[in-house]
Amino acid sequence: MLGVSIVVFCMVRAIPGDPAQILLGQSATTSQVAEIRDRLGLDEPLPVQYLLFLKDAVRGDLGDSLVTGRPVTTELLVRLPATFELTAFAMLIAILVGVPVGVISAVRQYSLLDKFFSVLALTGISMPIFWLAMILIVIFGVNLELLPFPGRLGPTTAITSITGLVLVDSLLTFNFAGFWDGLLYLIMPAIALGTIPMAVVMRMTRSSMLEVMGEDYVRTARAKGVVPWRVVFKHGLRNAMLPTVTVIGLQAGLLMGGAIITETIFSWPGIGQIAYESVSRRDYAMIQGVVLYGAALFVLINLLVDVLYAVLDPRVRY
């Protein structure tokens, strides 16, 4: 993580242009620029600058956005629930569809169904996510007028904000119309974001199921006369879940990249959207914040996966 922070810091400093100049605009006088440089600590040598940056970063202070002037951390925290809701829902779809389909493909290996799913999964990981999103809009949003977009809620729907998660808040306040509306708005972005993880989860479940089903203990269970579905779920799936869980953890990074694109297309007010905006507005403080938090989250999730590993597999002990 320290290495990551050094890399991010150096890269952002390497971005051409004087931040003080950018902050003040073209008309600023030299003395104004000098004053700002002094205030931002830009006159210090680079290693000192890095340590100052690190000191603030550890306390959650990543500086202010160059565009809005509000602290980067606040700006990101406000948008966190929207992104969390979207990615969680996308992952849920991915797992709920990916795992069963993977199991079916493995149990019926080389059947027509298996081949069909395999090609479908490969097609899933071959589609650019922004194209998939646009096609979903064309089909379900415009042509069939089934699902609403863009944004998170209809203009007439109001939801009391408690957690910032539309679905949770609406249920807590018994606002079922709001829940339904939020759900409809959520479906298209979540499918767009969830398709690639779904395909990856499916492929992983299939191949690890195939491996596990060839093990001796599965044969023993069959020989014992355990009912087939019990063999598949208790002996097979439980053990096959390990690599699948790893792969789910690894999807986190992909989801972050995907969220930037999905949120931009659907005008979803989350972190991905602000990442896109700060890139196009050259808001370097914001980019730095997004990347740093993104990397931190990524490391954290992978740590979580390692812990989960130990829970799922009694043989793994730390």
Q: How far apart are CA 238 and CA 255, in angstroms?
A: 25
Q: Which is nearer to other proteins, 96 or 142 (CB)?
A: 142
Q: How far apart are CA 156 and CA 161, in angstroms?
A: 15
By CB under 8 A, which span of 55-63, 78-86, 141-149, 173-181 interacts with other proteins? 141-149
User: Contacts with other proteins in 290-309 (CB under 8 A)?
Assistant: 290-291, 294-295, 298-299
Looking at 119, 146, 304, 310, which residue binds other proteins (CB under 8 A)?
A: 119
* Chain position carrying tokens 């596990």: 212
By CB under 8 A, which span of 75-83, 135-143, 160-168, 219-227 interacts with other proteins? 135-143
User: Does position 14 bind other proteins by CB under 8 A?
Assistant: yes
DSSP state of 64: B
Q: Which is nearer to other proteins, 166 or 275 (CB)?
A: 275
Distances (CA, A) of 70 to 25, 159, 189, 268: 18, 25, 28, 20
User: Contacts with other proteins in 230-259 (CB under 8 A)?
Assistant: 252-254, 256-257
User: Contacts with other proteins in 46-65 (CB under 8 A)?
Assistant: none
User: Does position 111 bind other proteins by CB under 8 A?
Assistant: no
Q: How far apart are CA 45 and CA 28, in angstroms?
A: 24
- E strand residue ranges, the chain: none
Looking at 138, 158, 304, 310, which residue binds other proteins (CB under 8 A)?
A: 138
User: Does position 88 bind other proteins by CB under 8 A?
Assistant: no
Q: Is residue 191 within 8 Å of 93, Cβ to Cβ?
A: yes
Q: How far apart are CA 147 and CA 142, in angstroms?
A: 9
- SS3 for 201-216 is HHHHHHHHHHHHHCCH
Question: Minimum distance between the CB of residue 212 and other proteins, rounded to whole angstroms?
Answer: 16
Looking at 106, 261, 271, 274, which residue binds other proteins (CB under 8 A)?
A: 261
User: Does position 128 bind other proteins by CB under 8 A?
Assistant: yes
Q: Which is nearer to other proteins, 137 or 240 (CB)?
A: 137
Q: What is the DSSP string of 206-258?
A: HHHHHHHHTSHHHHHHHHHT--HHHIIIIIIIHHHHHHHHHHHHHHHHHHHHH
Q: Which is nearer to other proteins, 179 or 293 (CB)?
A: 293
Identify the helix (H) or strand (E) that includes residue 298: helix 284-312
Q: Is residue 20 within 8 Å of 40, Cβ to Cβ?
A: yes
Question: Minimum distance between the CB of residue 203 and other proteins, rounded to whole angstroms?
Answer: 10
Interaction site with other proteins (CB under 8 A): 1, 3-4, 7-8, 11-12, 14-16, 119, 122-123, 125-131, 134-135, 137-138, 141-143, 252-254, 256-257, 260-261, 264-265, 275-276, 279-280, 282, 284, 287, 290-291, 294-295, 298-299
